[in-house]
């Protein structure tokens, strides 16, 4: 590509993005983000260079780009999944307790099934009891949470907990609407973080 191909004045964004893709700029991300967020059409050469940079095939010019989730989002996603697994372990303990005969035998069977220690299974039951107790209490106390199904409340609890937030026992409608909006954004970030792991 020659400079003559970049005649239009509004092609500065394309030119800088192309330079970034060819490693001629230190701040590669900023140039690409500026172009992608603009209304300027993406030049065919930039589109091709961007595709090459994102491709798993060797790139002849420039260096490859990779999608990377933020560490905090990735950690929150892992914490969320870990807490969901605790609830699954606790459900296994409850489901096998009648068959196993004793709580201790049920812990052993659930630990074997989920490949964890008996102590971890016991901790999972404690966590599940805390989550269920909170969900039941907020259903009865007349707050906005009374409108949610039990499963939704449990998911909210573990989402707040995984993010290191205090799970609020009571909320006004405005506070709940604000939390709901944040909850949706958090879930989208979690899914994006998992997508970048693979």
Residue 84 pLDDT > 80: yes
Is residue 62 assigned to a domain?
no
The residue behind tokens 């500026």 is 34
Task: Judge contact between 107 and 147, C-beta under 8 A.
Answer: no
Q: Is 163 exposed, middle or buried (0-12, 13-18, 19+ CB in 10 A)?
A: middle
Q: Per the structure, how many domains does the chain have?
A: 2
List, for residues 167-185, the tens digit of each pLDDT value.
Answer: 665 555 556 667 667 767 7
Query: Cα angle vertex 58, ends 57, 61, to 5°?
Result: 130
> Do 46 and 112 belong to one domain?
no
Token digits of residue 119: 């102590």
129 belongs to a structural domain: yes
137 and 100 together in one domain? yes
26 plus 99 within the same structural domain: no
Rounded Cα distance, 31 and 198, in Å: 26
Domain of residue 79, residue span:
71-197
Total-model pTM: 0.52
């Amino acid at each position: 590509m020659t400079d003559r191909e970049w005649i239009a004045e509004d092609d500065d964004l394309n030119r800088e993005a192309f330079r970034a893709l060819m490693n001629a700029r230190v701040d590669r991300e900023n140039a690409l983000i500026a172009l992608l967020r603009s209304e300027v059409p993406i030049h065919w050469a930039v589109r091709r260079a961007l595709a090459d940079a994102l491709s798993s095939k060797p790139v002849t010019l420039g260096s490859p780009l990779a999608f990377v989730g933020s560490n905090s989002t990735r950690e929150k996603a892992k914490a969320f999944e870990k807490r969901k697994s605790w609830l699954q372990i606790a459900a296994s303990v409850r489901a096998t307790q009648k068959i196993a005969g004793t709580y201790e035998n049920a812990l052993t069977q659930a630990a074997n099934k989920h490949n964890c220690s008996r102590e971890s299974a016991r901790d999972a039951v404690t966590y599940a009891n805390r989550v269920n107790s909170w969900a039941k209490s907020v259903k009865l106390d007349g707050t906005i949470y009374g409108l949610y199904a039990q499963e939704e409340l449990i998911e909210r609890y573990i989402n707040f907990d995984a993010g290191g937030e205090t799970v609020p026992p009571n909320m006004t409608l405005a506070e709940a609407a604000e939390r709901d909006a944040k909850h949706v954004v958090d879930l989208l970030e979690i899914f994006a973080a998992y997508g970048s792991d693979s």
